[in-house]
Structure 1
Amino acid sequence: MTARAVRPILADAASRLEAAGVPSPRVDAELLISHVCGMQRNQLALLDELSAEQQQEFESLVLRRCAREPLQHLTSQAHFRHLTLQVGPGVFIPRPETETLVQLAIDELAVLRSTTERRLRVVDLCTGSAAIPLAIASEAGGIDTLGIELSPQAFEWAKRNVQATMPKVRAVDSTVGLRLADATTAADQLSDLLGLVDVVTCNPPYIPDGAIPRDPEVRDHDPAIALFGGADGLDVVRDVVVQSARLLRPGGLLLIEHGDEQGIAGNERGVPAVIFQAQGFEVPIDHVDLAGRPRVTTTRRLSIET
């Protein structure tokens, strides 16, 4: 095999990915070829040809992507806000939709920062790759965050990401800690933080057990522990709400991500309904993501118990 021009190789790969049902075939082909060549996608115009070795590596990746293995598993990277995170089998791939939750948390912390000089605390339950606490800590500044994760496999990915991102975190005087623990009993394991947390975030498993995810990348590759949340998808959410009531300061903010149909319109099958039924919280508010879909429910711990 000899060196070949990039353009026809790229066109052929995009065509095959499209035939395999990949949603963004041209982009994926460009990202894979960039990965093989060790360059950014916006530098591809500078690339004229692929060596025989590069062609072989690229072909292997294209075949795996045609089989609907996640792009992020092939490149070992997932982009989330300003971060590039390490991901792979055993950890949930962070989604753009979750950036809505992060922005709401950062906005809350900015308001708190204007009213107090003390260190602010954030606990992220079901932290997975640690995308949420790392984004918050590195963007908000002066924040102490803690990620809680039950899966040992996901926890290893989280540790790698914390280590890789720590220079950005320290540069803004923040910290990120991790604890291998169960989010559904978090308060029992965080006795030193009871009533002292300013913000609790959570992107829990919220797919009902009987539902089958449409996309093969999710169905066949995301870990089940990060996807399925009981018969109605809300089992973990119920426990998270109870734990958060113990962790949060009076007036502290709880943010929970949910599926499209689990917002206010979900009625008793929605996250807001779970909060309404719980003790010690204000009326919940639902927020949409950048696509206009219901995505995050927020509520505050009551300042005075009623």
Structure 2
Amino acid sequence: MAQEPWTTKRILDWTSGYLERKGDEHPRLSAEWLLADVTGLSRVELYVNFDRPLSPDELACMHAAIEQRAAGEPLQYVTGEMPFRHIVLRCEKGVLIPRPETEILVDAALEGVDRAADVGADPARVLEVGTGTGCIALSIASERPGTEVVATDLSEEAVRLATRNCEALELGEVVSIVQTDLAADVDPSLMGSFSVLVCNPPYIPTSVLSEQVPAEVVDHEPALALDGGSDGLDVYRRLLGLAPVALAPGGMLAVELYEGSLDAAAALARAQGGWERVEICEDLTHRPRILVAVRKAEKR
């Protein structure tokens, strides 16, 4: 009796059931992502090719991917990529996986770029600290052509990955990626000329990280990009010190932070002084997510 072939539908159904038994919160979605990556089909195309049999090579790749996912490895590391806004990025172990909520941070930064353009900044310059995959810097550069972006990261792995993503998107002429702590090795002549300083720093309070964050995140993603210290504001305090040096008059600081830390973060900015306004912005689920602060413009 001939063995039943492993078709798209059969492998999707089997993988969904297997991953559900292994504790995957979204087993069908995981199955779709894995199979789409292995076959080169989109998730929509999978459903119009239910009877398509998998080749032996595809089956072998799918088996390996299923076992990685069943062991708790994030989907983005298994497939090696993820979409972010209008671009697709490579993702690798050792570098933080971009989150959908960070797209709101890009929106805030783009408002700062547009504001700078409106008052005649040419080109508008953006400094991103802690670029990771490059998702923020590369989104800004791709969505606002002509904007000059300097992106930094302390991690050598992150700088290598962000550079590859930059090259793949052909944005090397407008995006510079620097391995450094905060902005220590950024060209000093650029200091005071940035229209936007944007950052998604490590912001999870240490106690929250150890007690509330899922194992899939804690066990697989870099602690350097997650742990924000006792109150989640260790790096943010350093950004407050950098902002008056890096930003042009009227420039914007935009930072993603832990929802329980934003009131304290806003109070620190207001106590520092020099800001025209300090605001807390919500994400799409109406949770406080982003701090936006605009420097006072020069008096005329």
Normalised by the length of structure 1, the TM-score is: 0.90
1:46 correspondence with 2:49: yes
> 198-207 or 48-57, which moves further after superposition?
48-57
State yes or no: 1:75 paired with 2:87: no
Say if 1:209 and 1:233, in contact at 8 Å, map to a contact too. Answer: yes
3-state SS, counterpart of residue 255 of structure 1: strand
Q: Which amino acid aligns with 1:298?
A: V
Counterpart among 87, 90, 95 of residue 99 in structure 2: 95
Bigger drift between 274-283 and 20-29 goes to 274-283
**What residue in structure 2 maps to residue 182 of structure 1?**
181
Name the CA distance, whole Å, in 2 between partners of 1:216 and 1:129.
Answer: 21
C-alpha distance in 2 between matches for 1:78 and 1:207:
23
Give the letter aligned to residue 46 of structure 1.
N
> Any idea what the Cα deviations from partners look like across 1:187-219, whole Å, max 9, x if unmatched?
574411221110110000011223325222211
Counterpart of 1:192? 189
Q: Please state how far the C-alpha of 1:14 moved relative to its aligned partner.
A: 0.9
Residue aligning to 2:279 = 285
Equivalent residue number for residue 15 of structure 2: 13
Q: Which residue number in structure 1 is paired with residue 220 of structure 2?
A: 221
Equivalent position SS for 1:78: strand
**1:194 maps to amino acid:** M
Structure 1 residue aligned with 2:269:
275
Per-residue CA distance 1:70-124 (angstroms, 9 max, x = gap): 1011111021101110111111111110000101211232233233162110000
- CA displacement at 1:5 relative to structure 2: 2.1
Distance in 1, matches of 2:249 and 2:286, equals: 31
Q: Secondary structure at the match of 1:303?
A: coil
Residues 1-306 of structure 1 mapped to structure 2, 5 A cutoff: 3-44=5-46, 45-47=48-50, 48-116=52-120, 118-166=122-170, 169=171, 175-183=174-182, 186=183, 189-211=186-208, 212=210, 213-264=212-263, 270-303=264-297
Contact 2:112/2:251 (CA < 8 Å) preserved in 1?
no
Change beyond 3 A, Cα 1:117–1:155? closer
- Alignment RMSD, CA only? 1.9
Residue 117 and residue 204 in structure 1: after superposition, are their counterparts in 2 closer, same or farther (change >3 A)?
Answer: closer
1:187–1:52 Cα change, 3 Å = closer
Partners of 1:204 and 1:256 within 8 A in 2: yes
**Higher helix share goes to which structure?**
1
Report the CA distance shift for 1:117/1:150 in structure 2 as closer, same or farther (over 3 A): closer
| Deviation, structure 1 residue 141 | 1.5
CA distance in 2, matches of 1:58, 1:274: 50
Q: 1:119 to 1:46 in 2, by over 3 A?
A: same
Give yes or no for contact 2:152–2:178 (8 Å, CA) kept in 1.
yes
State the shift of 1:23 in Å. Answer: 2.6
Query: How many residues in Structure 1 have an aligned counterpart in Structure 2?
Result: 293
Contact 2:91–2:133 (CA<8 Å) still a contact in 1? Answer: yes
Gaps of 5+ in 2: none
Shift of 1:2: 7.4
TM-score, length-normalised on structure 2? Answer: 0.91
Residue ranges of structure 1 left out of the alignment (5+ in a row):
265-269
| Contact kept in structure 2, 1:126 and 1:202, CA below 8 Å | yes
Distance 1:54 1:46 in 2: 15
Cα pair 1:2 1:52 within 8 Å, conserved? no
